[in-house]
Amino acid sequence: MEIKIRPAVFTDLDTILEIINHQILHSTSIYDYEPRDFETHKLWFEEKLAHDLPVIVAETENGTIGYATYGSFRHKIGYRFTVEHSVYVAEEFLGKGIGKLLLAELIQLAKKQGYHTMIGVIDSENKGSIAFHKKYGFETVGVIKESGYKFDRWLSSVFMQLILE
């Protein structure tokens, strides 16, 4: 299976929306409760492009199978060199190296854009994602206990950091 990593385009939005909505409904990887609608997702994509923030996809001959992006960590001037990233892969392609390709490209893009630090905020139950990030140089720098609530239980957020320079 040949995998191509490229910038997302408008026609990728349906598949990106399917991937994120699956995560919203079936996992604690994102603390949203309700699936996103297309119009909201379209505005999200347009805002990313307007602020020169990447949205990249992993694609096979059968279509888009994952995506990654980053955005502001916090909206204060002192944090302008820090980004928070997200990597999502379609369920049937997990464990096949897709996330690795997306994360590697995202890190390179962040370096090219002059960012200093990349942050991942991961649910503490998501041991696979924590191990994945450690494998690629991220360090756990903190845990905020019971910071989220989903599926009738409290969830804790693990903050992982990669210094890019």
pLDDT tens string 68-107: 999 999 999 999 999 999 999 999 999 899 999 999 999 9
* Rounded Cα–Cα distance for residues 54 and 45 (Å): 9
Name the 3-class secondary structure at 33: coil
Segment 42-47 shows an average pLDDT of: 96
Q: Which residue has the higher pLDDT, 165 or 45?
A: 45
Where do we find the tokens 């191990």?
Answer: 131
- What is the token pair recorded at 8? 């997302």
- Number of Cβ within 10 Å of residue 73's Cβ equals 19
- Number of Cβ within 10 Å of residue 55's Cβ equals 21
Q: Cα 129 to the chain's mean position, in Å?
A: 11
* Rounded Cα–Cα distance for residues 164 and 162 (Å): 6
DSSP letters for 100-128: HHHHHHHHHHHHHTT--EEEEEEETT-HH
Q: What is the domain count for the chain?
A: 1
Q: Which of the four pLDDT bands, split at 50, 70 and 90, describes residue 1? A: confident
Domain extent at residue 41: 4-116
* Rounded Cα–Cα distance for residues 105 and 101 (Å): 6
- What is the token pair recorded at 115? 């960012």
Considering the domain boundaries, does residue 32 fall inside one?
yes
Considering the domain boundaries, does residue 160 fall inside one?
no
Considering the domain boundaries, does residue 69 fall inside one?
yes
Q: Which of the four pLDDT bands, split at 50, 70 and 90, describes residue 165? A: confident
Name the 3-class secondary structure at 38: helix
Does this model's pTM top 0.85?
yes
Considering the domain boundaries, does residue 78 fall inside one?
yes
